């Protein structure tokens, strides 16, 4: 309540001469405070205080009624301002959501952040904005920012007792932690997501939690074994993680089949097939990709998913030793990549086809695909891809007996490996360059000894003994 003083400096305490003045003080104080709410300190004009003094002397019942009316007006005015604020915040948030739906996440973030600056008293709206901001930053690959807003969302949902919101926030937080490689923390979030969903008898939420659980263990397994080893030869820790991934994917499948969610079934079968591939269960991987994932992708007209299925099938058939079948799947991958205008995937498909034709000993066709890969890699300024293309071209030309061209690509591979700091690639390139120089040196010596009439051999001739180790590496090249 405001401390009232009249023009003579007398406080309301000295003016207590009757019940009416005391009654006035208790009623009028909050009204005066509301009138002055926009200022930094409560202030009252001398004119108004003169009226207060008069009211105190006369009882002022009529004036008190007027003040009550004024107080009601002030309440309604403040309510309208709040409604305008809520409307402005919601409008900004809805525009941010619309922009994110069309893929303009950067602009969407600007609108969401503006909505937060405007403010809202509706904590459900604020929770939704935090969640959307986290998702937008996730799509922009700013995972630390995504983590920040998903944590805000989780804290807020717990504060207001929104269990469904807490489950969703836990799932989003788990996905973000997975991408950051913080797998143990991600597992905790997935477990909380699953627990709440089960408690609420939310089947859709349970399916999502199990799918996220599988993704965390799948990513963990891949991260452990991403060291150049072939599928099936991974350390025990990686195998344990991948087996857990398959268990969670199968648990997810039992629910999404019950729900009749074909799109979710397709996604899970794709990830299940990839997990089986990494475990070395290539036939199970083929069944998952070919009999289910590919069919569902075609059913929905999802060409990107169809392209991934063909690529994964090609990889599995390579390890089953069915190179011709693998080549057919890679060709379909290439066709879809061109239809989708995805140059990076087109380059990958050309690289896979080149390696497959090398395994089929069709070296001229292998060279054709590797040259296409090289051109795309150069266009994309992909130095790693360019280095791989040069390495593969060196191997293919060596197999054809074109050692001068093979040496040119081997030297280019060595140059790129040094530039990008690829120690393993540099070591391989040095060995190839050394072997080829040895072969060319022996040929030069043979030419000087036997005279110019001796031919250098026909394409496909293994050549002198110094080239055997290089050819062995060509045949066992990892795809």
Residue 478 has pLDDT above 60, yes or no: no
Cβ-proximal residues to 301 (8 Å cutoff; 6+ apart), any chain? none
CA dist 346 and 340 (Å) reads: 9
Please report the pLDDT score of residue 441 as a whole number.
82
Cα torsion for 161, 167, 168, 169, to the nearest 10°?
A: 70
Looking at residues 265-275, what average pLDDT do you find? 95
Percent of the chain clearing pLDDT 70 (strictly above): 73
Band of pLDDT at residue 317, cut at 50, 70 and 90: very high
- Ranking 8-22, 149-163, 186-200 by mean pLDDT, the lowest is 8-22
Mean pLDDT of 337-354: 96
- Ranking 62-76, 115-129, 303-317, 324-338 by mean pLDDT, the lowest is 62-76
Domain ranges across the chain: 19-59, 374-479
Can you give the three-state secondary structure of the chain, one letter per residue? CCCCECCCCCECCCCCCCHHHHHHHHHHHHHHHHHCCCCCCCCCCHHHHHHHHHHHHHCCHHHHHHHHHHHHHHHHHHHHHHHHHHHHHHHHHHHHHHHHHCCCHHHHHHHHHHHHHHCCCCHHHHHHHHHHHHHHHHHCCCHHHHHHHHHHHHHHHHHCCCHHHHHHHHHHHHHHHHHCCCHHHHHHHHHHHHHHHHHCCCHHHHHHHHHHHHHHHHHHHHHHHCCCCCCCCCCHHHHHHHHHHHHHHHHHHHHHHHHCCHHHHHHHHHHHHHHHHHCCCHHHHHHHHHHHHHHHHHHHCCHHHHHHHHHHHHHHHHHCCCHHHHHHHHHHHHHHHHHCCCHHHHHHHHHHHHHHHHHCCCHHHHHHHHHHHHHHHHHCCCHHHHHHHHHHHHHHHHHCCCHHHHHHHHHHHHHHHHHHCCHHHHHHHHHHHHHHHHHHHHHHHHHHHHCCCCCCCCCCCCCCHHHHHHHHHHHCCCC
pLDDT at 331 over 80: yes
| pLDDT band (50, 70, 90) for residue 224 | confident
Residue 12 has pLDDT above 50, yes or no: no
pLDDT score of 361: 95
pLDDT score of 86 = 56
Check pLDDT > 70 for residue 35.
Answer: no
Reported confidence tier of residue 76, pLDDT bands at 50, 70, 90: low
Judged against a pLDDT cut of 50, whether residue 406 lies above it is answered with yes
What confidence tens digit (pLDDT) does each residue in 351-370 have? 999 999 999 999 999 999 99
Task: State the pLDDT at residue 225.
Answer: 75
pLDDT of residue 41: 41
Of the candidates 406, 414, 412, the residue with the CA atom closest to the CA atom of residue 430: 414
Residues with Cβ within 8 Å of residue 143, at least 6 apart in sequence: 137, 176, 179, 180
Q: Which residue has the higher pLDDT, 38 or 151?
A: 151
For residue 69, the model assigns a pLDDT of 54
In the chain, % of residues over pLDDT 90: 67
**Which pLDDT belongs to residue 374?**
97
What's residue 234's pLDDT?
A: 81
Cα separation, 148 vs 156, in Å, equals: 13
Per-residue pLDDT band at 88 (split at 50, 70, 90): confident
Average pLDDT over residues 328-339: 97
Using pLDDT thresholds of 50, 70 and 90, give the confidence band for residue 468.
very low
Of residues 72 and 196, which shows the higher confidence score? 196
Which CATH code fits 374-479?
1.25.40.10
Least confident of 28-42, 152-166, 266-280, 355-369: 28-42
Q: Tell me, what's the pLDDT at 312?
A: 96
Look at residue 458 and tell me whether its pLDDT is greater than 50: no
From CA 464, how far away is CA 441, in angstroms rounded? Answer: 11
Weakest mean pLDDT among 59-73, 104-118, 174-188, 429-443: 59-73
Query: Region 169-184: what's the mean pLDDT?
Result: 97
3-state SS, 72-86, equals HHHHHHHHHHHHHHH
Structure confidence at residue 39 (pLDDT): 39
- Tell me: the pLDDT tens digits for 94-131? 999 999 999 999 999 999 999 999 888 899 999 999 99
For residue 78, pLDDT over 80 is answered with no
């Amino acid at each position: 309540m405001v401390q009232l003083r009249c023009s003579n400096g007398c406080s309301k305490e000295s003016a207590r001469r009757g019940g009416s003045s005391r009654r006035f003080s208790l009623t009028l104080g909050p009204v005066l405070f509301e009138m002055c709410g926009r200022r930094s300190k409560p202030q009252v004009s001398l004119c108004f205080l003169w009226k207060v003094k008069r009211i105190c002397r006369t009882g002022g019942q009529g004036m008190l009624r007027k003040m009550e009316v004024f107080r009601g007006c002030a309440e309604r005015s403040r309510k309208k301002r709040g409604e305008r604020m809520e409307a402005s915040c919601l409008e900004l948030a809805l525009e941010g959501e619309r922009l994110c739906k069309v893929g303009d996440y950067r602009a969407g973030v600007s609108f969401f952040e503006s909505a937060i600056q405007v403010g809202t008293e509706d904590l459900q709206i604020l929770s939704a904005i935090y969640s959307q901001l986290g998702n937008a930053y996730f799509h922009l690959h700013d995972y630390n920012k995504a983590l920040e807003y998903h944590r805000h969302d989780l804290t807020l949902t717990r504060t207001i007792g929104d269990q469904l919101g807490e489950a969703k926030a836990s799932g989003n937080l788990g996905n973000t932690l997975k991408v950051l490689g913080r797998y143990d923390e991600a597992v905790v979030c997935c477990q909380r997501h699953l627990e709440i969903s089960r408690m609420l008898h939310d089947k859709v939420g349970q399916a999502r939690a199990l799918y996220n659980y599988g993704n965390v263990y799948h990513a963990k397994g891949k991260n452990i074994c991403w060291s150049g080893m072939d599928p099936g030869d991974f350390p025990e820790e990686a195998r344990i993680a991948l087996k857990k991934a398959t268990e969670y994917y199968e648990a997810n499948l039992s629910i999404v089949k019950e729900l009749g969610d074909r799109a979710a079934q397709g996604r899970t079968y794709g990830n299940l097939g990839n997990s089986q591939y990494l475990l070395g269960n290539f036939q199970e991987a083929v069944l998952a990709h070919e009999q289910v994932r590919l069919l569902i992708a075609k059913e929905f007209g999802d060409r990107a998913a169809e392209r991934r299925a063909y690529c994964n099938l090609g990889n599995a058939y390579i390890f089953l030793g069915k190179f011709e079948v693998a080549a057919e799947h890679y060709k379909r991958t290439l066709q879809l990549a061109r239809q989708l205008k995805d140059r990076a995937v087109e380059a990958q498909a050309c690289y896979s086809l080149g390696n497959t034709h090398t395994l089929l000993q069709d070296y001229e066709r292998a060279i054709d695909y590797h040259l296409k890969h090289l051109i795309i890699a150069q266009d994309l300024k992909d130095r790693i891809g360019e280095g791989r293309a040069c390495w593969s071209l060196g191997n293919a030309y060596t197999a054809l007996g074109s050692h001068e061209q093979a040496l040119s690509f081997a030297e280019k591979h060595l140059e790129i490996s040094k530039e990008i700091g690829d120690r393993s690639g540099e070591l391989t390139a040095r060995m190839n360059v050394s072997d080829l120089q040895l072969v060319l040196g022996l040929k030069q010596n043979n030419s000087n000894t036997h005279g110019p009439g001796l031919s250098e051999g026909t394409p496909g001739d293994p050549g002198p003994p110094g080239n055997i180790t290089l050819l062995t590496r060509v045949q066992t090249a990892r795809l």
